[in-house]
């Protein structure tokens, strides 16, 4: 059985806040609350259990238009976000496109 694939599209955001809105759209589903728009909440979402995939379910995340994201968000922030994703290597396969 193949992993679920989630696509973060760098064309859909240009600020930190709009990045977190994209994450909510892509990695959560049918929540009756708003997620926090910060690094800690992003890390929590990556564990799973927020409607799109189960807790520690094996998934694949593809970040399309990554270079645009680096330009809009800054290299330092994108490096931090990628590192947060890679901290979950035990269940997240990650690819930049």
The pTM score is 0.94
**Domain interval for residue 49:** 4-96
Locate 9 and state its tokens: 């599209």
Domain count, the chain: 1
For 56-83, the pLDDT digits (tens) are 999 999 999 999 999 999 999 999 999 9
For 84-95, the pLDDT digits (tens) are 999 999 999 999
**Mean pLDDT, residues 9-18 taken together:** 98
Phi first, then psi, for residue 4 (nearest 5°) are: -65, 145
pLDDT of residue 1: 53
Q: Where residue 11 sits, what CATH number does that domain have?
A: 3.30.370.10
User: Across the chain, what does the average pLDDT equal?
Assistant: 96
């Amino acid at each position: 059985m193949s992993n679920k694939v989630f696509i973060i599209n760098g064309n859909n955001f240009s600020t930190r806040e709009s990045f977190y809105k994209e994450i909510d759209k892509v990695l959560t589903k049918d929540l009756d609350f708003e997620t926090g728009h910060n690094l800690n909440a992003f890390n929590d979402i990556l564990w799973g259990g927020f409607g799109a995939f189960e807790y520690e379910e094996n998934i694949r995340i593809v970040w399309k238009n990554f270079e645009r994201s680096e330009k809009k968000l800054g290299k330092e922030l994108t490096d931090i976000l990628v590192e947060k994703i890679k901290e979950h290597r035990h269940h997240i396969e990650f690819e930049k496109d």
